[in-house]
Structure 1
Amino acid sequence: MTDQADGSDPGRRPTMVDVARAAGVSLKTVSRVANEVPTVRADLAERVQGAMAELGFKRNHVAANLRSGRTTATIGLIIRDLANPFYSTIAAAATAVAERFDTRLITASSGWDPARERELVLDLFERRVDGLIVVPSGDDQSYFRTEIDRGTPAVFIDSPPDGCRADTALLDNRTGTRDLVRRLIAEGHRGIGTVTDTLNAYTMGERRAGAREALGEAGIDGGRHAARLHSDRPRSAGDAVGAMLDAPDPPTALFCGNNRILLGVVEEMVRRRTRLRLAAFDDFEFAPLLPRPVTVVGYDTRELGRLAAEMLFRRLESPGAETSNHVVPTYLVDRGTEPAPGRRSPPLP
């Protein structure tokens, strides 16, 4: 068997020793370049990187993480619905952060099922992931306590955990909704309806609270036009707002708890050719194309995912630090269009 010019065996994976020999530098210099230590001289770093590329050298991330006290160089992300752009954006942002730390991200969906959430969490713990980011579906996360106490951190995103202490990254649901309903009141509306659901008790609870606070400040009865759905189907929202509009004293404005509720409400309004001042939590890609004007609560979803992932890596570096709660701010933005006079907009799909 003939060795290569640098003395390495072409049948085996090149090592740092091979790179050091090919670049004419010390093994310590190769290690510092591989670990992206910024104090290496530029000309030496260039020689090392050239040798790495020529030899096909790949850093052993598992060994590096074992030396630093980590185990698998993987973290887990459990979200509720992979098809929902909100959660897929969070996953993309968390992946970008994980790549900066030479870490793989394993993503799974609980499908809003608390039993499935628990199954996925325990499975990832068994796989020895270094940490977890979780959008909880259930209202009991006490089963996290043992693993967190053993040193595997978790960060909860969108909703705080119940039954354990952990870092959280949340949206400012209450303030966003309160600001939105205050705008409706400032425009002169007194009959303001609300349509929310119960699929996420925390976020919807915060949004309902924000609406009630704004209505209470203005002396408006928040329960007069209020519907709480038990489904996220847009048609359920359409039926609910239809009942409000058929009442003797219908609302003139409506707050929708999320964008799926908004879609059902808009469809019902188009069907009835009805004008109603609309406001909703959650901006989304096609909101500017809605056939009715609407003011929405927007926020930076990527920031939410990025923040949660960075919190997890900080926790891995400082496991004894106090738990923290970070809140992503919201803002109001006008979306939708005004239909042309006399023209009937097509129903939403």
Structure 2
Amino acid sequence: MSVDGSAHAPRRMPTMRDVAEQASVSPMTVSRVLHEDPRVSSTTRDRVLAAVDALGYRRNEVARNLRLGSKSGLIGLVVTNLANPFYSQFALGVEAIAGANGLRVVLTNTDEDPERERVLVEELSARRIDGMIVVPSGADHSHLDPLAPGGVPVVLGARPPSGLPLDCVLVDDFGGARSATAALLAGGHTRVGFLGLPPSVWTSSERFRGFCVALEEAGVRLESRYVRVSQRTIPAAEEAARALLSLRRPPTALFCANSRNTLGAFRAMSQVAPSTALAGFDDFELADVLGVPLIVAAYDPRELGRTAMELLLRRMSDEDPPLEPRRIVVPATVVHYGG
């Protein structure tokens, strides 16, 4: 509101055309002045610069860099699900290192759609970004080839490359799931359920593999009726957990492949079988105040983001001969909450 109580609409950013009108010249003349064209007279230059100051006009440096073929100072970050808290923390890690190096991050979301990912990657490349960090949603990574026309340096996060020599930073999905499941089994449980994402998701398949190996090492047979692998949301996980806990011989413990499945399982347990033991992959806020014993395979998503950005800076250094691709695995540590 203004001093006299009237409302004002948000101020529109001035354009080059606005500057041209203010200075009574053409937009092309404004452009020539801003690009320090010596053919523009000093009188016209002074008039245009006065209009720039009066209007508070700022050049679109990204567009300017694109025209000049210069670096944009932008990094693309492509993730699969912004609703997942993991990705906000991952992005903060990327941004911390990017910002410290004078770069800005453009964040996009694929919603686990490989075709949408392909389109977003093409659009980012068309903007001549300096590099890209991608959490791939499918198994075909051909559109990420940095040697293709228009290609840029690429680092993969959370999932490894397929058919391309790309840098990547991963979580120890297998080892973390194996250790957390082993902790459940050490408590005497022989009927253990699994809640996870579809096996086509690399992280889910690795965590399921760790779960299975832990069962095998403890001499416990895997029962397919205790496995549910299609839950992407907390309500879906709650419904799947409720179905498992309502079986005639329900599992006495549940291992959940990510935090959304853990929270869904907790909701179902609190209503159906509160004595069920619970373990999950991914730490999350307030995990320590749920009021039940909880085992978590924990790691630092920001560390993943920081490491991914450091790998990208290394890849953007244009070393000759090309650097060998690196694969860095961040460990997962088993944490016990509650009683």
Q: 1:322 offset after TM fit, Å?
A: 0.6
The separation in 1 between residues aligned to 2:249 and 2:151, in whole angstroms, is 58
The separation in 2 between residues aligned to 1:156 and 1:304, in whole angstroms, is 10
SS in structure 1 of the partner of residue 329 of structure 2: strand
Q: 1:70 offset after TM fit, Å?
A: 6.7
RMSD over equivalenced CA pairs, Å: 2.6
Number of the residue aligned with 1:329: 331
Q: Please, which runs of 5 or more residues in structure 1 have no aligned partner?
A: 1-11, 14-60, 339-349
Number of the residue aligned with 1:134: 134
2:238·2:264 contact (CA, 8 Å) conserved in 1? Answer: yes
Q: 1:89 offset after TM fit, Å?
A: 1.2
The separation in 2 between residues aligned to 1:99 and 1:244, in whole angstroms, is 46
After superposition, what is the alpha-carbon deviation per residue over 1:187-239, rounded to whole angstroms, capped at 9, x for unaligned?
22111111112176100000000011111112211225532332313233233
Number of the residue aligned with 1:287: 287
Counterpart amino acid of residue 322 in structure 1: E
The separation in 2 between residues aligned to 1:151 and 1:103, in whole angstroms, is 19
The separation in 2 between residues aligned to 1:199 and 1:111, in whole angstroms, is 17
Q: Work out whether 1:251 is the aligned partner of 2:251.
A: yes
Number of the residue aligned with 2:214: 214
Q: 1:326 offset after TM fit, Å?
A: 0.3
SS in structure 2 of the partner of residue 98 of structure 1: helix
2:78·2:108 contact (CA, 8 Å) conserved in 1? Answer: yes
Counterpart amino acid of residue 221 in structure 2: D
The separation in 2 between residues aligned to 1:168 and 1:142, in whole angstroms, is 15
The separation in 2 between residues aligned to 1:233 and 1:151, in whole angstroms, is 34
1:250-329 matches, cutoff 5 A: 250-319=250-319, 320-329=322-331
Q: 1:273 offset after TM fit, Å?
A: 4.8
The separation in 2 between residues aligned to 1:74 and 1:100, in whole angstroms, is 13
1:199·1:231 contact (CA, 8 Å) conserved in 2? Answer: no
Q: 1:92 offset after TM fit, Å?
A: 1.3
1:230-245 matches, cutoff 5 A: 230-245=230-245
The separation in 1 between residues aligned to 2:257 and 2:334, in whole angstroms, is 14
Q: 1:155 offset after TM fit, Å?
A: 0.2
1:137·1:200 contact (CA, 8 Å) conserved in 2? Answer: no
Q: 1:145 offset after TM fit, Å?
A: 2.1
1:278·1:293 contact (CA, 8 Å) conserved in 2? Answer: yes
The separation in 1 between residues aligned to 2:246 and 2:96, in whole angstroms, is 49
1:148·1:154 contact (CA, 8 Å) conserved in 2? Answer: no
SS in structure 2 of the partner of residue 197 of structure 1: coil
1:70·1:130 contact (CA, 8 Å) conserved in 2? Answer: no
Number of the residue aligned with 1:112: 112
Q: 1:141 offset after TM fit, Å?
A: 1.2
Counterpart amino acid of residue 133 in structure 2: I
1:125·1:147 contact (CA, 8 Å) conserved in 2? Answer: no
The separation in 2 between residues aligned to 1:245 and 1:144, in whole angstroms, is 43
The separation in 1 between residues aligned to 2:231 and 2:183, in whole angstroms, is 28
The separation in 1 between residues aligned to 2:249 and 2:156, in whole angstroms, is 42
1:52-71 matches, cutoff 5 A: 71=71
Counterpart amino acid of residue 276 in structure 2: L
1:78·1:107 contact (CA, 8 Å) conserved in 2? Answer: yes
Q: 1:163 offset after TM fit, Å?
A: 3.8
The separation in 1 between residues aligned to 2:70 and 2:298, in whole angstroms, is 37
Q: 1:118 offset after TM fit, Å?
A: 0.8
SS in structure 1 of the partner of residue 174 of structure 2: helix
Number of the residue aligned with 1:161: 161
Number of the residue aligned with 2:75: 75
The separation in 2 between residues aligned to 1:125 and 1:235, in whole angstroms, is 37
Q: 1:104 offset after TM fit, Å?
A: 1.8
Aligned length: 276
Number of the residue aligned with 1:34: none
TM-score scaled to structure 2, two decimals?
0.75
Number of the residue aligned with 1:6: none
Counterpart amino acid of residue 84 in structure 1: N
Which segment drifts farther, 79-88 or 212-221?
A: 79-88
Q: 1:290 offset after TM fit, Å?
A: 1.7
2:110·2:116 contact (CA, 8 Å) conserved in 1? Answer: yes
Rate the CA distance shift 1:315–1:170 in 2: closer, same or farther, 3 A. same
Rate the CA distance shift 1:139–1:127 in 2: closer, same or farther, 3 A. same
The separation in 1 between residues aligned to 2:102 and 2:201, in whole angstroms, is 36
The separation in 1 between residues aligned to 2:236 and 2:151, in whole angstroms, is 44
1:297·1:331 contact (CA, 8 Å) conserved in 2? Answer: yes
Q: 1:149 offset after TM fit, Å?
A: 7.3
